[in-house]
Amino acid sequence: MATLRIDDCINDVCPLTGRLVAPDALTLYRGSVVGFATPARRDAFLAAILMFESARIVPVPARSCPADRTPGRVAA
């Protein structure tokens, strides 16, 4: 894996803390180098992305509608 460089970072301040980006807290996100204040903040960001992406690919079971609550039907 190529070394990430602070010169390639698209942000100067951490999106989570507002503090300056640290050279040891860089990651790739959608093809761009993004920086964070600390490696812990970077790791929290990556964990959140993994959680959201995992939720997108896990199918949500369909809920059944009671017979008298058919979608699109107005109750009398």
Task: Give the per-residue pLDDT at 57.
Answer: 75
Q: Residue 29 pLDDT more than 80?
A: yes
For 4, other C-beta atoms within 10 Å of its C-beta total 17
Bigger pLDDT: 54 vs 25: 25
Task: Give the per-residue pLDDT at 36.
Answer: 98
Bigger pLDDT: 54 vs 46: 46
The mean pLDDT value for 16-40 works out to 97
Region of 30 on the Ramachandran plot (φ > 0 left; ψ -120 to 50 alpha; else beta) = left
Question: Residue-wise over 16-51: b if at least 16 C-beta within 10 A, else e?
Answer: eeeeebbeebbbeeeeebbbbbbeebbeebeeeeee
The separation between CA 21 and the C-alpha centre of its own chain, rounded to angstroms, equals 18
